[in-house]
């Protein structure tokens, strides 16, 4: 494959982080009625009423959430490529981050499928519904460590970039580290059905999602910008540069 063709795909993969943030916000967030999610304190009957009231919208939002969620995977692939270039030989931080990215992709694609299953039958027994809903929110949230590992390592590698033209401004790398750390209180989530750490609370939901989306948008943006820059270099026939000062694609 030619360098120019590859760089176009790399641009798309980098930008897919921005696309994920927007599309997942629309489908899972808005149509799925997750801004914020329904309270874990709802009784089975009240939760069933919520699912019945928003049945079509939830089914649509979660189906499309599973569809657009894969963009987390494409963004993680470009992240791994960029980190690998910076880290060089023995890219242990890159591989660890990639594993975290793959696990996170599972969460953002498969949990919507679980919620779609919960919404599939309007005559589902309310207790079964609540159990399925609980299971999915817990799976979605307390498994954050994959995402934390990816975010912190991306930030560290971004800060360690010694190339002539750094991929990420320092503040973007620091934001990534902050994002990874911001999820840690979520481990307390199973102990609360209300308050700031519950899955609809200020810390778990509002802070957690804000840091997460800003991280994806900023790192996605700068990876796309980098691919664009390299493409312009190719088209101008300019010198090839590498992230660590060595010649690279």
- Which residues are near other proteins by CB under 8 A? 1-3, 5-7, 9-10, 13, 59, 62-64, 66-67, 69-70, 73-74, 76-78, 80-81, 85, 98, 101-102, 105-106, 109-110, 112-114, 116-121, 124-125, 128, 132, 248-249
Query: Which CB sits closer to other proteins, 8 or 214?
Result: 8
Query: Which CB sits closer to other proteins, 45 or 117?
Result: 117
Q: Where are the alpha helices (DSSP H) in 122-236?
A: 126-142, 145-159, 170-182, 208-236
CB of 41 to other proteins, least distance (A): 22
Task: Look up tokens 């590992």; give the residue.
Answer: 149
Query: Which CB sits closer to other proteins, 2 or 90?
Result: 2
CB of 213 to other proteins, least distance (A): 20
Buried b (16+ CB within 10 A) or exposed e, 83-99: bbbbbeeebebbebbbe
Contact 142, 190 (CB under 8 A): yes
Q: Tokens for 111?
A: 């949990």
CB of 10 to other proteins, least distance (A): 5
Query: Which CB sits closer to other proteins, 85 or 166?
Result: 85
Strands (E), 77-222: none
CB of 47 to other proteins, least distance (A): 14
Give the relative orientation of helices 170-182 and 145-159 as an angle to the nearest 10 degrees.
160
Contact 81, 10 (CB under 8 A): yes
Q: Tokens for 207?
A: 């802070």
Task: Look up tokens 């660590």; give the residue.
Answer: 244
d(CA 247, CA 98) in angstroms, rounded, equals 24
Query: Which CB sits closer to other proteins, 120 or 210?
Result: 120
Query: Which CB sits closer to other proteins, 177 or 227?
Result: 227
CB of 210 to other proteins, least distance (A): 26
CB of 202 to other proteins, least distance (A): 31
């Amino acid at each position: 494959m030619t360098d120019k063709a590859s760089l176009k795909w790399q641009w798309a993969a980098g930008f897919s982080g921005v696309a994920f943030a927007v599309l997942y916000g629309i489908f899972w967030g808005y149509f799925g009625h997750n801004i914020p999610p329904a309270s874990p304190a709802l009784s089975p009957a009240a939760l069933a009423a919520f699912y019945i009231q928003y049945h079509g919208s939830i089914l649509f939002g979660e189906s499309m959430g599973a569809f657009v969620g894969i963009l987390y995977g494409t963004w993680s692939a470009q992240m791994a490529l960029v980190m690998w270039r910076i880290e060089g030989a023995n890219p242990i931080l890159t591989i660890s981050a990639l594993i975290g990215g793959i696990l996170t992709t599972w969460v953002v694609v498969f949990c919507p499928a679980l919620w779609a299953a919960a919404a599939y039958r309007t005559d589902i027994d309310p207790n079964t519904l609540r159990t399925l809903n609980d299971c999915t929110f817990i799976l979605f949230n307390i498994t954050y460590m994959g995402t934390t590992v990816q975010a912190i390592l991306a930030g560290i590698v971004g800060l360690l970039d010694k190339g002539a033209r750094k991929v990420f401004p320092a503040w973007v790398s620091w934001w990534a580290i902050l994002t990874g750390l911001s999820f840690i209180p979520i481990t307390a989530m199973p102990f609360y059905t209300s308050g700031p750490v519950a899955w609809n609370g200020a810390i778990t939901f509002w802070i957690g999602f804000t840091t997460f989306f800003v991280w994806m948008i900023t790192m996605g943006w700068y990876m796309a910008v980098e691919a664009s820059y390299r493409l312009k270099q190719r088209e101008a026939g300019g010198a090839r540069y590498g992230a660590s000062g060595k010649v690279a694609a």
